[in-house]
Structure 1
Amino acid sequence: MKIALAQIITGREAERNLEVLEEYARQAKGGGAELVVFPEATMRAFGNSLHDIAEPLDGPWANRVRSIAAELGIVIVTGMFTPGSAPDGGRGKVRNTLLVTGPGVDTSYDKVHLFDAFGFLESDTVDAGSGPVTFDAGGLTFGLATCYDIRFPSLFTANADRGAAANIICASWGAGPGKVDQWKLLARARAVDTTTYVLACGQGDPATQGTEPHGAAPTGVGHSAVVSPFGEVLSELDGAPGLLFADLDPAVVKEARAKLPVLANRREF
C-alpha cells in the first residue's frame, strides 16, 4: 500500500488551511497514494484561539475534508478541533481530534495524553480522549496517535493488540534543544516496541519560511518520517514543507514479528 505524509505549516485561517490540505491531497493522489496523513492542528495552528473554530465531526470543515477525500478516492487523516466539555456553564474546552475519512472509512480519535510539558498546558483548553482507535484501509489496520502520545508506549501496544500493522502519529511538535532528536528517537522506538510501521507526520518548521514562533505554543519542527517495523528510517523530510511517499508491505510486519516477537514475549507486571 502506498501512503503519503503531508508536512505542511498551517496558520490561523481554517479556510486557507483547507486549501492547503486539498492541494497536498491532490498531489498525494497524483503520486499514487491510497492514504495521506496531515499533521495535528491542520484546522488551525497552535498559538491561536481554538474555541471559535471547534466544530462537530459533521460540521462544515470536516464535511469539506470528506468531500475532498470522496472526490479523490483517497483516505485522509487530519488534525482538527471538536467541542469538548463546558463545566459549570463556563467557557468550554475542545478536543484535539484526528478525523479519518475516505473510501470505506469514517472515524476519529481524540488525543489521550495532553501536552502539559515544557511550559505548555494543553489541559487548560483541551479535554483528553478515552482510548485507542484503529481503522482499516488498503488491507491494513492502522492505529492513531497524536503528538505527546508518542511518549507513551502503551497506546501503541494497544493499537498493535487491535491488529495495527502501522501506527500513525500526527504532531505539531514543540521546538527546543534536543526536541528534534527526541522526535526521531521516539518514532523509531515505538516502531520497534510494536513491530509496526510508524508514520510520523508533523507540522513543518515555521522558521524555514522565515517565521519565528511566539510564546510556548508548539508550532512544528518538521522531520516527518516513515519507520519500518525494524526501526529503520525508510524516508524522512527536513524542516521545510513537503510530501513524503512510502510503500507499506504487510509481509515486512509479519517478518518482524517472527524475528522479534516482542508482542508475544511481553509480560505484564
Structure 2
Amino acid sequence: MTTNRNFKRRVRARAAKTGQSYTTALRHFRQAPGGDVPTEPKRLRLAVAQAVLREDPRRSAGLRDSGSDIRRLMREAHEAGAALVHFPEGATCSPHKRIMSVDGPDKVGPADWTRFEWGVLRQELTAIAELARKLRLWTVVGSVHGLTPPHRPHNSLYVISDRGEVVTRYDERMLSNTKVTHMYTPGTAPVTFDVDGLRFGLLLGMEVHFPELFIEYERLDVDCVLFSTAGAGRQTDDGDFATQAQAHAATNSYWISYAGPTQDVASGVISPAGRWVVRCRETGKPAIAIIDLDNGPQNFARRWRRTARSGVYDPHLVQDDRRSNDRRVF
C-alpha cells in the first residue's frame, strides 16, 4: 500500500508541475518488467544530422571538409544538450561508383580502393572520436571501413562512445547490386547498443526496403532504429525511403531516426506512431534536429503484436466450414 501511495503521489506531483490531467501524467510512467511497481521511462536527447556528402575519396581536402562539418555539428548537438548524435551514410565520404570504377567514369566496374586517401580518413575519424570524448557525446557516423586487401571494404556505421571509443560497428548487409558486385563486402549481423537505458539498432543504405530487418530489431527489443542513408535522389515529396521508414516505425512501434544528405529529403525523427515529430530545415546546408526520446509510456500496440504472434489465437480456432459437409455458400 505504501508503494502504491508513493506512486500516486509522484503522478499527482507530475500533473501539478506540468498542468496535465492525472490520466495524462500517468502515461509518463510505465510498468516495470516482472513487477507491479511502475517506474519512470528512460529518456535521452538525440540529435539527428543532415550533411553534405562528398563523393571523391581521392581528394584529401574533401575528406577534411567532411570531418570539419561533422565536428561542427557535434558541437551544436552538445550545446543543445544531446547525449547522442546520428549522422548519415558516408558522412565522412560516400565514394561514387564511377569515380571508383577501374573502367570509369563512363562505365561502372570493380572499384579501385587504392584511390582512397585512407590515411586522411583515419586522421579525421581520430579527431571525431577525440571530440566525442571531450564533449561526452555518443556519435554514430557513416564511413567506409577498410579490410585487408584483396577484400573489399564494408559500408559501415561507427558507434563512438562518450569516452571516444569505437564500441561497435554496423556493416550494411543488404547491398545494392552495384555495391555487392563492384564495391563492398556485405555485413553479417544486426547490431544494438544501449545509452542511458535506451536500446538502439542500426541500419544503413537501402536496407529500408527490407521489412524483415526492422522486424528483427523489434525482436531485439530496441527503442529506436538509427537509419542512415546517402539518399535516393531528390524528389518532390519524401519518396520511397522516407515513406517506408514511417511505415516501419508504425508497424514495429518504435522510434526511427532518419539521417540523410542535404541534397535529399530532410533528416528527422519518426515517432512509434509513424509520424515525423522533428526535422531539419530544408536549406541544403548541414544541420541538426533535436528531440527527447523515451521508452514509454507503455507501448500497448507493441505488446499486443507480440502476444498475437505467440499463438494466442490457437484456442479460438474452429474447423473451416469449407472442409465440412455443410455446403452453404452464405
1:172 to 230, 233, 236: 230
Equivalent in 81, 96, 105 of residue 144 of structure 2: 81
Q: How does 1:150-161 map to 2 (within 5 A)?
A: 150-161=208-219
Size of the alignment, in residue pairs?
Answer: 242
Equivalent residue letter for 1:131 = A
In 1, Cα distance between the equivalents of 2:247 and 2:203? 14
Moved more, 180-189 or 23-32: 180-189
Instruction: Choose from 239, 245, 264 the match for 1:187.
Output: 245
Contiguous gaps of at least 5 residues in structure 2: 1-43, 57-61, 101-111, 312-330
**Displacement after TM superposition at 1:267 (Å):** 7.1
Match of 2:162 in 1: 103
Question: Is the contact made by 1:2 and 1:245 (CA closer than 8 Å) also made in structure 2?
Answer: yes
| 3-state DSSP of counterpart to 1:145 | strand
Query: Structure 1 residue aligned with 2:189, among 106, 131, 147?
Result: 131
CA contact (8 A) 1:81 1:95 kept: yes
Aligned partner of residue 114 in structure 1, secondary structure: coil
The TM-score normalised by the length of structure 1 is 0.81
1:248 is paired with a residue whose SS is: strand
Alignment match, 2:74: 25
Calculate percent identity across the aligned residue pairs.
22
The answer on whether the counterparts of 1:84 and 1:126 sit within 8 Å (CA) in structure 2 is no
Structure with more of its chain in strand, by fraction: 1
Confirm or deny: 8 A CA contact 1:2 1:34 kept in the other structure. yes
Q: Give the C-alpha shift of residue 55 in structure 1.
A: 5.4
Instruction: Structure 1: state its 5+ residue gaps.
Output: 206-220
| TM-aligned CA distance change 1:3 to 1:113, over 3 Å | same
- Cα distance per residue 1:136-162 (max 9 Å; x no partner): 012100000002111111111212222
Is the 1:53–1:81 Cα contact (8 Å) retained in structure 2? no
Q: Which residue of 1 aligns with 2:206?
A: 148
Q: Offset at 1:30?
A: 0.3
2:290 aligned with 1:229, yes or no? no
Alignment of 1:230-249 (within 5 A): 230-239=273-282, 240-241=284-285, 242-249=287-294
Contact between 2:145 and 2:156, CA under 8 Å: does it hold in 1?
yes
Question: Is residue 122 of structure 1 aligned with residue 122 of structure 2?
Answer: no
User: One-letter code of the match for 2:183?
Assistant: T
Q: CA RMSD in A?
A: 2.5
Native 8 Å contact 2:71 2:131 kept in 1? yes
| Partner residue in 1 for 2:5 | none
SS state at 1:155 partner: helix
Shift of 1:176: 5.9
Aligned counterparts, 1:254-269, within 5 A: 254-258=299-303, 261-266=304-309
Q: Does 1:113 align with 2:180?
A: no
Partner Cα distance (2:162, 2:214) in 1 = 25
The TM-score with structure 2 as length reference comes to 0.67
Q: Is the 8 A contact 2:53 2:230 kept in 1?
A: no
Amino acid at match of 1:22: R
